[in-house]
Amino acid sequence: MIPYSRQSISKQDIRAVQQVLRLDWLTQGPNVFAFEKALARYCRVPYAVAVSSGTAALHLAYLAAGLKKGDEVITTPNTFVATSNMLLAVGAEPVFCDIRLETYNLDETKLENLITRRTKAIVPVHFAGQPCEMDAILKIAKKHKLIVVEDACHALGASYRGNKIGSLSSDMTVFSFHAVKAITTGEGGAVITNNRQYYKRLLLLRSHGIYKNLQGKNVMTVLGYNYRLTDIQAALGLSQLKKLDWFIAKRRRVAEWYREELKDIEEIILPTPHEGSGSACHLYVIRVRNPKLRDRLWAYLQKRGIGANLHYPAVYSHPYYRKIGYRNLRLPNEEIYQHSCLTLPCHPTLKRNQVEYVCGAVKNFIKNYDL
């Protein structure tokens, strides 16, 4: 099976993890702090807080931002459910904005219409590693005094108009280090920020809401969690981070190979390379012009050992969301997208001949589907 994504672990990664196992610290310790420092430097921000998953990172960012019951938060339906699940977890109400069919990101021109007196924040998701139109989004946020939390779980290492994702003027930016993401710690995540107040709140919330007072006593002041990353994972993260730019370069090359192989196929819509931003190429998503064929192509590829996948069914179309109040929501572009998208394998260790094999299967299907 050629998976749609997978980790790439080197001998150095293994050595880095083995070293930690011989030392005194297994839980949060020197490697976590070093990993945070390296991540902050990479993203050109002062503060990074490493946590146990991207989902935990979203939860803490929303809590640190003060989101709570009664608040509306505008986000995209084209994301992993965790983006809006954690909004529900803090009691906030996700408001889904339709997407653009050029980038599959939320359509910033439709944002302002969704703002009400209860709107508190915007959560843009850089889908597939392609940055959202952040200039427009940040301008709208400033005008209406809204918090911006970027879900950059696909976009570590991506850039927007020459600036690294995470270094823009948003309040906080969230990453995931799950095995399929740009770099991995097994499970893991981080929140990065320019703001010292958020930073201090995140540290407190990560560790039960407890801090040591001047007398050296542990005092709990807010309801926190145990969302800490282990030093074992952080050592892997530090080692992986050194290869991040190389990983992204390889992913971009895979995307170019797909473009070369598939660009002349009428029935397939390829992702549009976007001016002014550098995608992290986290996912390679094609669209099938005739949506009736999408599921058949998906099954056809699966049968040939190709781990094609669907990213994503609209968040609002999951049974849980239908049940809690999104029963009739159908956003026009999102509907077109979710029934025509198909993710082809894309990761740093994918070989040219594997890409050719995948494209050969796609072409064969297109040539023969009506027979």
Ligand X SMILES: *Cc1c(COP(=O)(O)O)cnc(C)c1O
Q: Contact positions toward ligand X, by CB under 6 A?
A: 53-55, 79-80, 82-83, 125, 151, 153-154, 176, 178, 189
Closest contact distance (angstroms) between CB of 234 and ligand X is 15
Nearer to ligand X by Cβ, of 225 and 357: the residue is: 225
Burial of 323 (0-12, 13-18, 19+ CB in 10 A): exposed
Distance in angstroms (rounded) separating the CA atoms of residues 9 and 11? 7
Burial of 131 (0-12, 13-18, 19+ CB in 10 A): buried
And the tokens for 231?
Answer: 């030093």
Closest contact distance (angstroms) between CB of 190 and ligand X is 10
Nearer to ligand X by Cβ, of 283 and 297: the residue is: 283
Extract the runs of DSSP E, i.e. beta strands, from 76-129: 93-96, 119-123
Residue nearest to ligand X (CB): 54
Closest contact distance (angstroms) between CB of 166 and ligand X is 14
Nearer to ligand X by Cβ, of 202 and 262: the residue is: 202
Closest contact distance (angstroms) between CB of 132 and ligand X is 12
Nearer to ligand X by Cβ, of 53 and 240: the residue is: 53
Nearer to ligand X by Cβ, of 40 and 153: the residue is: 153
> For residue 211, is the peptide bond before it cis, meaning its omega torsion is within 30 degrees of 0?
no
Distance in angstroms (rounded) separating the CA atoms of residues 357 and 214? 64
Give 3-state DSSP helix, strand, coil % of the chain, rounded to 5.
40, 15, 45
Distance in angstroms (rounded) separating the CA atoms of residues 188 and 177? 5
Nearer to ligand X by Cβ, of 31 and 83: the residue is: 83
Closest contact distance (angstroms) between CB of 287 and ligand X is 19
b (16+ CB within 10 A) / e for 260-288: ebbeebebbbbbeeeeebbbbbbbbbbbb
Closest contact distance (angstroms) between CB of 151 and ligand X is 5
Closest contact distance (angstroms) between CB of 311 and ligand X is 8
And the tokens for 164?
Answer: 């690294």
Nearer to ligand X by Cβ, of 293 and 346: the residue is: 346
